[in-house]
Structure 1
Amino acid sequence: MFKGVIFDLDGTLVNSLEDITNAMNAVLQKHNFPTHSVAVCQSFIGHGVRDLVVKALPKAVQNEEWINRCFTEMLAVYRENCTIKTKMYAGIGDLLDELTARNIKLAVFSNKADKLTKKVVKAVLPNWNFEVVEGLKVEALKKPNPFVALEISKKLDLPVAQFIFVGDTDVDILTATSAGMHPVGVVWGYRTKEELIASGAKYILEHPLDLLKIV
């Protein structure tokens, strides 16, 4: 039934929390703003780097000037340090091997900036063929907007009903639902099982290989 899988990146395929937190905190420290723990930064992730920056800044400086300045600085720092501690989650390699063996088409769609998305996939997931890797190019098209997911469907020449969309946040589940794809949540990422179910996830993965039960 399913012939394609679109994966979210951060919190789904890779754990990038430390690299993201360290980059954000480096910018905050530069301007003598309070920094955040990994756990707090985890709650900021899901809607792209700009949204992360807004949430990380003190309320007194959450204005366009500071947001734009720190957003640019965050991207510069993170670009140079986005693969230092970022690693695949346990079991992801086995899952990707099995999906490849079954001729399932693979893609990545992230709200991380497009160049950074491609850099992380190339560095951390070099052994698998993701036929399409898409990050954020236009702010208005970030998830949960389904536009990019629908474009991936066209590029891979598969109807949306034949795609599973796998992610760790409500944003991913809403994107999948809007695109007419099968929404699947993962519990090892940055949000709770309860949030994923409330958002409309049709299936929850406790371990990556659980996806094979659906495929």
Structure 2
Amino acid sequence: MTKLVIFDLDGTLLNSLQDLAASTNYALRRHGYPTHELPAYRYFVGNGINKLLERALPESERTEENMLKIREDFVAYYAEHKADFTAPYDGICELLRELKRRGMLLAVASNKYHSATVALIPEYFGEGLFDFVYGQRDGVPIKPDPTIVFDIMKEAGVTQDEVLYVGDSGVDMQTAVNSGVASVGVTWGFRDREELLKNGASYIADQPWEIVKFID
């Protein structure tokens, strides 16, 4: 019986691509690197900020030193502009309220750095809707490593068969597989149905309300 529903953030709950792209392009411009059009960022995101910035750099410039150099500008800009264009996907807020009405515990497990994840949730979903909010923390491996899911499960006091994990990318589906929990791949995010299925999605949802039917 499902007791806990864990959601990825970017591309699952929030359409944040434009703000992520704008912040990365700002950091790239500051250091004289070429920028990218919005569609390219659909494939840059998903593995945390460092990997996003590494992918955005020219191939010959992808050193840790360069990534850290532009990261400082990215973080400063994103802190001020993370909500310029970002918004919940249509139907997400209604879904979350329905799950809460049914007694579900709700959590966020994101590869976005922890401080930004924690700041975004109350801004868009208010206080008290989510029981657990975890972003990428220093010293903790990023998804698809299952540590973030195990940490949430431990705090929630639930077992693997009581968890449903919801995400929009292959990384998310791999995270669920590695955690031993059921997953829903959502098609309204940054990646396509084929990637979700290829990486082990238990179920596929094309609209937020469909997730309710996977709650047992």
TM-score, normalised via structure 1 length: 0.97
C-alpha distance after superposition, 1:11-55 (max 9, x if no partner): 000000110000001111112211111100111000001101001
Partner of 1:144: 144
How many pairs were matched up? 215
Partner of 1:204: 204
1:109 aligns with 2:109: yes
Percent identity over paired residues: 37
* Cα distance in 2 between the residues matched to 1:47 and 1:76: 20
Partner of 1:135: 135
* Cα distance in 1 between the residues matched to 2:145 and 2:175: 6
1:50 aligns with 2:54: no
* Cα distance in 1 between the residues matched to 2:143 and 2:64: 22
1:1-215 aligned at under 5 Å gives the runs 1-126=1-126, 129-138=129-138, 140-215=140-215
What is the Cα deviation at residue 127 of structure 1?
5.5
Question: Secondary structure of 2:134's partner?
Answer: strand
C-alpha distance after superposition, 1:157-190 (max 9, x if no partner): 1112110000000111111111111111000001
Structure 1 residues 100 and 175: alpha-carbon distance in aligned structure 2, compared to 1, 3 A threshold? same
Unaligned runs of 5+ in 1: none
Unaligned runs of 5+ in 2: none
Question: Secondary structure of 1:141's partner?
Answer: coil
Letter in 2 for 1:32: G
* Cα distance in 2 between the residues matched to 1:10 and 1:118: 13
What is the Cα deviation at residue 60 of structure 1?
2.4
Question: Secondary structure of 2:143's partner?
Answer: coil
Structure 1 residues 118 and 27: alpha-carbon distance in aligned structure 2, compared to 1, 3 A threshold? same
What is the Cα deviation at residue 139 of structure 1?
5.8
Question: Secondary structure of 1:185's partner?
Answer: strand
* Cα distance in 1 between the residues matched to 2:173 and 2:26: 31
Question: Secondary structure of 1:100's partner?
Answer: helix
TM-score, normalised via structure 2 length: 0.96
C-alpha distance after superposition, 1:51-76 (max 9, x if no partner): 01001011222112211111122111
